[in-house]
Amino acid sequence: MRDVLLVAGKDLRIELRSRVLLFQVAPFAVATLVLLGFALDADRSALRNFSPGLFWVAVLLTALLAAQRSVAIEHAGRAADALLLSATSPARIFAGKALALAAQLAVLEALLGVAMVVLYDARVDHFGLAVASASAATVGIAAAGTLYGVLAAPLGVRETLLPVLLLPVFAPVLIGATRAFGDALGTAAVNGWAWFGLLGLFALVYAIFGALAYGPLLEAET
């Protein structure tokens, strides 16, 4: 666990210092939410009804940027080689990087949540369900983003390839999280906890798969 926290702390420190999250990713996230509202050109009640889906589309687009950043940190200066030559296991490196990415996404989701309330007049009826489903979705997105990030890392077309790889993978998260949020926000008559279960399963599968596959993929990057 110590190595996991070391790797996560290192990634978060780099993000804090570079301020990319604050000055680039966060404004992009809010701008996406605003533009989606403009695109629908709807009244506030319609925006409120669509808010779960719009929120998660904004989260997933933002997650692409954050995943790119997470890869770029290790790619610059071949820092990934230094991690491979350390005594820590690739599974711990994966867990640390996914934890850092999840922490950044959690901050962005909180920001987008506030923006959704302000811009779309959204109301949260079941706070526990919203937090639980957002947590499960965040872990799944972070695990998949970290795994596919290292998969695309050795390719010269990483910046354009990663979204192509990741968006189809994120589709189950978009569906599940939108349904669960629909129940939590009172905009859809569905069993949100059942969708939370799907999100949890997605997170579990990608966490396990990522821990197993990260090492060989990191080796291939070198």
Give the CA count within 13 Å in the CB-facing half-sphere of 96.
21
Asked if residue 79 binds other proteins (CB under 8 A), the reply is yes
* Residue range at the interface with other proteins (CB under 8 A); choices 80-88, 123-131, 169-177, 179-187: 80-88
Tell me how far apart the 2 most distant CA atoms of the chain are, in Å.
57
Q: Distance between CA atoms of 123 and 59, rounded to whole angstroms?
A: 18
Asked if residue 135 binds other proteins (CB under 8 A), the reply is no
Among 38, 39, 43, 85, binds other proteins (CB under 8 A): 85
Among 13, 23, 35, 44, binds other proteins (CB under 8 A): 13
H helices present in the chain, as ranges: 2-18, 20, 26-40, 44-75, 79-84, 90-120, 127-152, 158-184, 192-221
Nearest Cα residue to 174 out of 89, 86, 59: 59
Which tokens go with 213? 């596959």
Judged by CB, which is closer to other proteins: 172, or 215? 215
Asked if residue 82 binds other proteins (CB under 8 A), the reply is yes
- CA distances 221 to 3, 97, 131, 214, 216, Å, are 21, 16, 36, 10, 9
Judged by CB, which is closer to other proteins: 13, or 44? 13
CB of 221 to other proteins, least distance (A): 10
Class of residue 16 by CB neighbours under 10 A (exposed 0-12, middle 13-18, buried 19+):
exposed
* Residue range at the interface with other proteins (CB under 8 A); choices 27-35, 143-151, 201-209, 214-222: 214-222
* Residue range at the interface with other proteins (CB under 8 A); choices 12-20, 25-33, 166-174, 189-197: 12-20
CB of 215 to other proteins, least distance (A): 8
Asked if residue 18 binds other proteins (CB under 8 A), the reply is yes
Q: Distance between CA atoms of 72 and 79, rounded to whole angstroms?
A: 10
Spacing of C-alpha 128 from chain mean position: 20
Site for other proteins in 37-76 (CB under 8 A): 73, 76
Asked if residue 77 binds other proteins (CB under 8 A), the reply is yes
Among 78, 118, 128, 190, binds other proteins (CB under 8 A): 78
Q: Residues interacting with other proteins, by CB under 8 A?
A: 2-3, 6, 10, 13-14, 17-18, 73, 76-79, 81-88, 215, 219, 222
